[in-house]
Amino acid sequence: MHGSLANNEALLRAVLAGLAGGSRAEVAVCVPTPYLAQVQALCAGGPLSWGAQDVSVHGSGPYTGEVSAAMLRDFDCRWVIVGHSERRQYHGETDETVARKAQQALACGLTPIVCVGETEAQRERGDTELVVKRQLAAVIQAVGHCVAEIVVAYEPVWAIGTGRTATPEQAQAVHAVLRAQLRAATPGERRVRILYGGSMNAANAAALLAQPDIDGGLIGSASLKADEFLRIIAATP
């Protein structure tokens, strides 16, 4: 929950300028809903696509304050984050809720970025694999053959906003588990992209992105600084 009209414009113009020469990476920004119109106006036709940070489980109706997937499409959103750890922690979102949000997104032509990840206590108990597989399984069951159209983001909760980061080896181990689960559920040979989302920054991006099953990053605070965000993008192999 960051941003203002003035700060957004400065940030986006700087990022767009940095991408003017092209990029090996596909780059998107997921912003608070009130700023979607601004981002659409600034980024239309350029190298940045955009999306939202959450979506309702409902298509429409008496749900004051909710934002539907169809509303997001009105602003030409391509992406929406579902199941971010902060939504699970502070808003009580369950695996079932996250799966329903993914369904709503897909039904309206949006790509859900499905977040999974374990807490520090769960990791210390040795439950990391159990937790992330359970979280992803709920979405796979809900969306069926459309699982090939999602993006998955592994975000260890203990590494979000703490400055702590999973080592490349720790991150790769979990990504490999998720990759195997997705391959078992995905028709054909399509590779579902899996992003790492635990305090990736300009200093550690290259080592993380070099791992065979890490396809990109879900960038948090580092994306609020144009120069650092651009350095992460440039680290894409």
pLDDT per position as a tens digit, 154-207: 999 988 777 777 899 999 999 999 999 999 998 776 899 999 998 899 999 999
Q: What's the confidence (pLDDT) of residue 189? A: 67
91 is catalytic: no
Report pLDDT digits (tens) over 59-77: 999 999 999 999 999 999 9
Residue with tokens 């030409």: 76
Which one from 9, 26, 66, 84 is the annotated catalytic residue? 84
> What's the whole-number average pLDDT of the chain?
96
Which one from 149, 155, 169, 189 is the annotated catalytic residue? 155
155 is catalytic: yes
Q: What's the confidence (pLDDT) of residue 134? A: 98
- 27-40+48-215 to CATH, choices 3.20.20.70, 3.40.50.80, 3.30.70.20, 3.40.50.970: 3.20.20.70
Task: Read off the pTM.
Answer: 0.96
Cβ atoms of 212 and 168 closer than 8 Å? no
Q: How far apart are the first and last CA of the chain?
A: 30
Q: What's the confidence (pLDDT) of residue 81? A: 98
Enumerate the domain spans of the chain: 27-40+48-215
